[in-house]
Amino acid sequence: KVRWAIVGASQIARSWVAKAIQSVPDAELVAVVSRSAERGRSFANDLGIPVSATSLKSLLAETAIDAVYVSTNNARHRDDTLEAAAASLHVLCEKPLGLTLYDAVEMARACDRAGVVLATNHHMRGAATHRAIRDLVLTGQIGRPLAARAMYCEYLPKELQTWRTKDKEQGGVIYDLTVHNVDVLRFVLADEPVEVMSMKASSLIGENGVEDQVQSIVNFASGLIAYMHEGQVFAHHETALEIHGTEGSIYGRGILDEAPSGRVYLRRGTEMTEIPVEPANLYATTIAQFDAAVLHGDRPAATGWDGVASLATALAVRRSAQEGVRVSVPRFE
């Protein structure tokens, strides 16, 4: 079994990931680390986690752990991951992997050097809907993909309108949702973004110049052009993912989400067929795949380098929107 500690008593860990770890047969949720002893204790009590500690160091002095889920706010991902790698722990890190490409590459290299698995929690790779879409694309069901549209537009709940909407250093929809949209497109298309052109706005809830929506046109290596829209201000917008090819189109409705939700359709001419999909918990699928990487050397759903790639495109989006120019996306391996 992989013995897990959650680093950061966060909302996403509370609402999804802790229970996902507890539901996977190869995983055991042993501890939570929170800088606040009180928040850590109540998190552990509420979720039935045996141990709570106020630092990774004090935890490791007393408890054996194999892997950490870094679920702290964006500005802490780098240090928390480097500390875990230095202790030879495997790491599932939340997105964005880091705030800068320099940091993200340093994280990926440190984990490679330490011989530990680094994965990025791009949880939508665990969605049955996204896997179905990828299968349709890669088995040629829509011929050659020519264009894609990914619309990750939602309303950010009031209780999450804290650092995400106010803090210029680590907040904003680009770190929050653009990285996911980029990863979704890379995953379902098996293609790489090469250039972006973007515009952003602080429309409703973003403060201090922090953007709450952004729209981009992205060129991919194959020649495909994608449109991406991410927003935290849309209370009535259904999320959507479309891929349009020479032989057909795929429509994913309501599928950019934390919950296993939404439907997938294949359209040829005017005929629309629903693709049957068996819903599964996205986070549990991601954890199970991570455990297989640790225990059997398999590939995690999204590697550390996938996190570097999604961040590279997201930062190109930010620069394009800031400077009003087309920006090339750098590639790292």
- Binding residues for ligand NDP, rule: CB under 6 A, are 8-12, 34-36, 39, 71-74, 94-95, 121, 123, 160, 162, 176, 258
The answer to whether the beta carbons of residues 70 and 7 sit under 8 Å apart is: yes
Q: CB nearer to ligand NDP: give 20 or 196.
A: 20
Tokens standing for residue 284: 């549990």
Residue 73 or 203: the one with the smaller Cβ distance to ligand NDP is 73
The count of C-alpha atoms lying within 13 angstroms of the C-alpha of 113, restricted to the half-sphere facing its C-beta, is 11
Closest approach of ligand NDP to the CB of residue 79, in Å: 12
List the end-to-end C-alpha distance of the chain, in Å, as a whole number.
30
Q: Which is nearer to ligand NDP, 10 or 232 (CB)?
A: 10
- Cβ atoms of 205 and 234 within 8 Å: the answer is no
C-alpha–C-alpha distance, residues 71 and 92, integer Å: 9
Nearer to ligand NDP, 108 or 224 (CB): 108
* Cβ distance to ligand NDP smaller for residue 34 or 249: 34
- Residue whose CB is less far from ligand NDP, 216 or 232: 232
Position with the least CB separation from ligand NDP = 8
> Closest separation between CB of residue 8 and ligand NDP, Å?
3
CB of 186 to ligand NDP, least distance (A): 15
Distance CA 204, CA 165 (A): 10
The structure tokens 């050097």 sit at 113
171 vs 212: CA distance, rounded Å: 9
Half-sphere CA count of 269, side-chain side, radius 13 A = 1
C-beta closer to ligand NDP: residue 176 or 191: 176
In DSSP notation, 294-318 reads HHH----SSBHHHHHHHHHHHHHHH
Q: CB of 93 within 8 A of CB of 77?
A: yes
DSSP assignment, residue 1? -
d(CA 16, CA 143): 36
Min dist. Cβ of residue 22 to ligand NDP (A) = 17
CA–centroid distance for 197 within its chain: 22
Provide the minimum distance between the beta carbon of 257 and ligand NDP in the complex, in angstroms, as a whole number: 9
- CA 182 – CA 216 distance, rounded (Å): 11
Least distance in angstroms from the C-beta of 199 to ligand NDP: 22
Count of alpha carbons within 13 Å of 195, Cβ hemisphere only? 9
Q: Is 124 within 8 Å of 186 (Cβ atoms)?
A: no
CB of 101 to ligand NDP, least distance (A): 17
Let me know: does 192 contact 220? Beta carbons within 8 Å.
yes
Task: Return the number of the residue (39 or 267) whose C-beta is nearest ligand NDP.
Answer: 39
Q: How far is the CB of 15 from ligand NDP (least distance, A)?
A: 8
Whole-number minimum distance, CB 172 to ligand NDP, in Å?
A: 11
Of the pair 127, 321, the CB lying nearest ligand NDP is at 127
